[in-house]
Amino acid sequence: MSLSVIPPSEEQAREAAAVLRVLADTTRLRIFLLLRQGETCVCEVAESLGLAENLVSHHLGVLRRAGLARDRRDPADARWVYYQLDVPTLSRLSTLLGDLFDPQTLGTRTPVCGPAALLMPQRAAPRAELKSQETGG
């Protein structure tokens, strides 16, 4: 279901708004974009983005709680935690938000009221008929 075709349900709109709020933070967005390259650990993210490891851990936790990322512990040494984006969540969000920023999916609707409605020939006739009916003409 795409926003350009069917308006989202209240629940879908809430989910989309929550994800957009999480990604509105520039640090989290940078981490999210880095995670698109594949699985990584906190120290690699910190080094790549020039951030402190505790700050990266905090933001990865926010991404994880939002369902955008998931973690896994190294089986040989559980002290190491690796992060990657959550594919099922991204698939669901892609379906919901995929067309949100695509200008090719914008509608071409014309208002049915106000001066703009009178400029469109196919809409001007019904409105003119309504006015003539109201005035008795």
Percent of the chain with pLDDT over 90: 54
Residue 71 has a pLDDT of: 96
Nearest to 4 by CA among 126, 87, 133, 102: 102
Report the amino acid identity of residue 111. P
- The domains found in the chain, sorted by start residue, are 10-106 (1.10.10.10), 107-137 (no CATH)
Higher pLDDT, 98 or 60: 60
CB-based burial label for 114 (10 Å; 0-12, 13-18, 19+) = exposed
Give the pair of three-digit tokens for residue 9. Answer: 């349900």
pLDDT value, residue 36: 96
CA separation (Å) from 78 to 51, 57, 81, 97?
23, 16, 7, 36
Which tokens go with 132?
Answer: 């003539």
